[in-house]
Amino acid sequence: MKATRRDTVIGVSALIASTTLGHARAQTAPANSVKALVFDVFGTCVDWRNGVAREAERILKPLGYDLNWIGFADAWRALYQPTMEEVRSGREPFVKLDVLHRRMLDQIRPKFGLQMLDDKTAGELTLAWHRLDAWPDVPPGFARLHRKFILAPCSNGNIALMADIGRRNNLPWDAILGSEIAHDFKPKPRVYLAAVEALNLTPPQVMMVAAHSNDLRSAASNGLRTAHVARPPEIPGVSETGPRVPVDVAATSMQDLADKLGA
């Protein structure tokens, strides 16, 4: 399981180099007008798939469970969008992602024979999402970007979750923005605009950074600048080795993004 992570990052670089970034605007980013970078986190900054699989194995294997750990992580994540849509649609009131992650876990437990899991263990397993590792290029890339820009997550993850990921990976967040301050989930406009307002900036002064074109499309439609950072595909259609929409910057890594933004 773990061997796939760094190997995949290295292997995908060759693919990225040969990928035609047809949707990218081949130009230098308007870095002089951008004051802050806000980041998608799951998939863009951290490797959720291997992280959740690793934590599930660590917690459950000593209890006698032997699962397809990657399959378990994928099944959990597969409920991410449908569960948030209940909130986005107004059918359910807003609750933070930790609560939704626990609901998703409870839904998939029968599929993996985890019906008898006690509440304490299920709670610890839910915190797997707080213990994800950053992609190798992220800490050094952030160190450079932080010299020039305000950095903050604009994630569907809640504040405690983002704080734990930041501390685990030494990510220099200047603020934690996103779903919990907006009381909604991306790609609803309020999530992006609440982040802009919190920083006392205008949308063109804020750049959304993500590995997901749908996220960038929504950010751009609300006036933000956009940067795509290539990542190995998590699940087909979830993250991409190149943007599928027009963006201001297309980068192969966080360090490449720092180069292109003059950081």
Q: What distance lies between CA 97 and its chain's CA centroid?
A: 13
41 and 160 fall within a common domain? yes
75 and 147 fall within a common domain? no
64 and 170 fall within a common domain? no
pLDDT higher than threshold 70 for residue 182: yes
- Domain encompassing residue 174: 3-47+134-260
Instruction: Mark which of 76, 97, 130 sits at the end of a domain.
Output: 130
16 and 111 fall within a common domain? no
222 and 95 fall within a common domain? no
- Average of pLDDT values for 16-22? 36
pLDDT at 31: 58
Condensed to tens digits (0 to 9), the pLDDT of residues 68-113 reads 999 999 999 999 999 999 999 999 999 999 999 999 999 999 999 9
Q: What is the dihedral of CA 112, 57, 140, 192, to 10 degrees?
A: 30
156 and 248 fall within a common domain? yes
53-59 long-range contacts (CB < 8 A, ≥24 apart) are 53/1, 54/1, 54/2, 55/125, 55/128, 55/131, 56/125, 56/128, 57/1, 59/121, 59/124, 59/125, 59/128
113 and 145 fall within a common domain? no
- What is the overall mean pLDDT for the chain? 89
CA-closest candidate to residue 76, choices 58, 94, 51, 96: 51
Question: Per the structure, how many domains does the chain have?
Answer: 2
Instruction: Mark which of 130, 156, 174 sits at the end of a domain.
Output: 130
pLDDT higher than threshold 50 for residue 12: no
Contact by Cβ (8 Å): 29, 248: yes
79 and 207 fall within a common domain? no
145 and 256 fall within a common domain? yes
Give the CATH number of the domain where residue 55 resides.
1.10.150.240
108 and 70 fall within a common domain? yes
43 and 102 fall within a common domain? no
35 and 52 fall within a common domain? no
pLDDT higher than threshold 50 for residue 60: yes
Condensed to tens digits (0 to 9), the pLDDT of residues 237-261 reads 566 889 999 999 999 999 999 999 9
Give the CATH number of the domain where residue 220 resides.
3.40.50.1000
